[in-house]
Structure 1
Amino acid sequence: MEKINLTKAASLRDVKEITSFSRATIYRKIKESGFPKPIKISAKRVVWDEVQVKAWLNEQVSQLQTH
């Protein structure tokens, strides 16, 4: 089993608030643009690493500012 370094767990609600993306957009971005994948912590619960989500978002903003 792969060890996960989870800094701070963020729920889907948290991720939606951080990014202002809808649920559908979050899952589309996972497939299309390397958005951090959720981590399954139980049969019906997933979380994201908040640090990874914020790092991804900052990277996207940086890319837009350099173009």
Structure 2
Amino acid sequence: MTTVTTNTTRLIRLPEVLHKTGYKKAWIYRLISENRFPKPIKLGSRAVAFIEIEVDEWISNTISNSRTAS
């Protein structure tokens, strides 16, 4: 039996980022400006998206840092 592993990079839009993090738009963009959150990529003149794995890694790191800081 052969196992096929697919590595797909999924782009997510801001509403999903807000849902995943629990933050509001202004706070996400503040963190981005402080280089504390993954930067979005430009899709067009008025559209951006985030790379899902980068957001997920940021969430995991934030949880880990929170647990070890205590």
- Which category describes the TM-score, using the shorter chain as reference length? 0.7 to 0.9
**Secondary structure of the structure 2 residue equivalent to 1:47:** strand
Structure 2 unaligned runs (5+)? 1-7
Amino acid aligned to 1:63 = N
Alignment of 1:1-67 (within 5 A): 7-67=9-69
Which structure has the highest strand share of the two?
1
- Structure 1 portions without partners, runs of 5+: 1-5
Which structure would you say has the larger Rg? Answer: 2
- SS of 2:16's equivalent? helix
When the two chains are superposed, the root-mean-square deviation of aligned CA atoms in Å is 1.3
Scaled by the length of structure 1, the TM-score of the pair is 0.85
SS of the residue corresponding to residue 25 of structure 1 reads: helix
Alpha-carbon separation, structure 2, partners of 1:13 and 1:50 = 12
Question: Structure 2 CA distance, aligned partners of 1:39 and 1:49?
Answer: 8
* Runs of 4+ in structure 1 over 2 Å off: none
